[in-house]
Amino acid sequence: MDHDADYAAYVRESWSTLVRSAVFLGCPLHEAEDLAQTTLVRCYTAWPTVAAADNRAAYVYRMLLNCLRDSKRRRWWGERPAERLPESRTTVVRDDTADVDTADAVHRALAGLTKINRDVVVLRYFTGLSEQQTAEVLGVPAGTVKSRLSRSLAQLARDAHLADLRPEFQPTLQPEPTEGATS
């Protein structure tokens, strides 16, 4: 496969995961799409290196994190996005209220984590990287990833924003006594 076709296939395969990861790293959707695009542009300019990487996913997600850090460091004096986009003329049939509520709760809960712990959770669970790949992206030992995940998941389990997403408390049913058993 030639250079451009290989790259195009990679973009089609990874676009939605890169955008989703950027959203869970704290970017609004429009910034997440810009961040994914910037990451993929950097991938294109270094495609021979990216394609030859032992762990392409870790390499690309490291680029994504670096692009995010770069975007937070610089000041932008150019155009600002509008607060509200114009309404489209298409009719929306599906009510996404529950999805929005769930996403909001998850975003609020993730915002309660430290930056490094949020990065670990997003890379491991929302991006689907293994513990070893996450460790490579962050440049830390795999044991550090495990301990950060453990602390982060414990904190998320206690988070009030996620309380409404948990199934209602169901009392444990006691087994019925067997015949001849005395109580």
Are 131 and 142 contacting, i.e. CB atoms less than 8 angstroms apart? yes
Residue 131 lies in a domain: yes
Count of domains forming the chain: 1
Residue 101 lies in a domain: yes
**Predicted TM-score of the model (pTM):** 0.56
pLDDT of residue 163: 79
CATH code, domain with 111: 1.20.140.160
| Domain span holding position 141 | 3-73+96-165
Which whole number is the average pLDDT over 163-180? 54
CA distances from 121 to 48, 81, 89, 153 (A): 29, 29, 38, 8
pLDDT tens sequence across 110-153: 889 999 999 999 999 888 889 999 999 999 999 999 999 999 99
pLDDT of residue 173: 44
Residue 15 lies in a domain: yes
Residue 88 lies in a domain: no
pLDDT tens sequence across 37-65: 999 999 999 999 999 999 898 899 999 99
Are 92 and 46 contacting, i.e. CB atoms less than 8 angstroms apart? no
Residue 78 lies in a domain: no
Assess whether pLDDT exceeds 70 at residue 154.
Answer: yes
pLDDT of residue 171: 42
- C-alpha–C-alpha distance, residues 169 and 137, integer Å: 38
